[in-house]
Amino acid sequence: MSGPTDFPPAARDAILTWYGSRARALSFRRTTDPYAILVSEAMAQQTQAARAGEAWTRFMGRFPTVDALAAASPADVLRAWQGLGYNRRAINLWLTARRIADEFGGRVPSDIAVLQSLPGIGPYTARAIAALAFGVPVGAVDTNVRRVLGRVVAGDTGVLAPSELQQLADGAVPIDRPGAWTHAVMDVGATLCHPRRPACGTCPARPWCRYASARAAEVGQGRVVPTRPTGAAARSVHEPPAPFRTTSRWLRGRILDRLRDAPHGEWVVLDASIGEHDPFAVERAMRALANDGLLELAGDEPPDRRARLPIA
């Protein structure tokens, strides 16, 4: 294999051509406003792109600028975030807006290191913002991108060390189209290069992909191409997951939904079971949410089980 930074230029061109006619129509892709892109990237973490796009449109209508978001209360932001889940992202976005308003005059910084110093912004999000909003030729690596680049160059994911993968991602970016490339390689990973049963036959990178070549060779030799995990991985797949309603994540979401439904600043009593969770589990979840800055408790003692969304 050639060096880890060698992504075939022809494969890159093919992916960009494919993207030109097959790009997903996502609302947040129509903007180059750094703040709007920051919001979209915060929403797209752990959320399907289409659902994030719908929420992004509503959220931008409510908080159209950094200053508008920074001036809002956490309760306002959490209400606007409803339906997206992983609510800590909303608080981090609000904290980031306040930092940008206070320290950068309301302008989203373009420097990757500075972006990563902001709440909730990791290496992928910082590079995505830099590429999409500011045209910086850097590769944003998430699970989808890791899979596409790793399969094309190394034959599979997990072969390259993280530092090699980042080198590969940075080297693949066209200097004049970093934003388009960021979206394009993401779309290939999300719609074609699936973890299992990838659609290699319709992938624009197939002629240069080591993974696709190896898969085709196995078919030609009459070997069965694994499409399902085996061994311990298979056992974990076939073991039924715990019902979602029994998880703490479900309970935390229901608690926040009840607080969202209350008038601004009003305390809500949560002293009964919620779903399959008894009052003691509800209390534990309330305290965990309070520790994460997602709600305020009226008192420290268990008998006082009142809470509200944070107002400051």
Residues tagged active-site: 41
Dihedral pair phi/psi, residue 307, rounded to 5°? -150, 160
How many other CB atoms are there within 10 angstroms of residue 9's CB atom? 11
- The single-letter code of the amino acid at 274 is I
Helix (H) or strand (E) holding 268: strand 268-269
Residue closest to 176 by CA, chosen among 211, 128, 221, 131? 131
How many other CB atoms are there within 10 angstroms of residue 292's CB atom? 12
Structure-block tokens of residue 39: 């919001």
Token pair 């305390």 is at which residue? 267
Sheet holding 268-269, edge to edge: 268-269, 306-308, 296-297
How many other CB atoms are there within 10 angstroms of residue 311's CB atom? 11
Cα(180)–Cα(38) distance, rounded to whole angstroms?
A: 16
How far are the Cα atoms of 11, 32, 59, 215, 287 from residue 172, in angstroms, in the given order?
Answer: 10, 22, 33, 24, 46
Structure-block tokens of residue 164: 């090699």
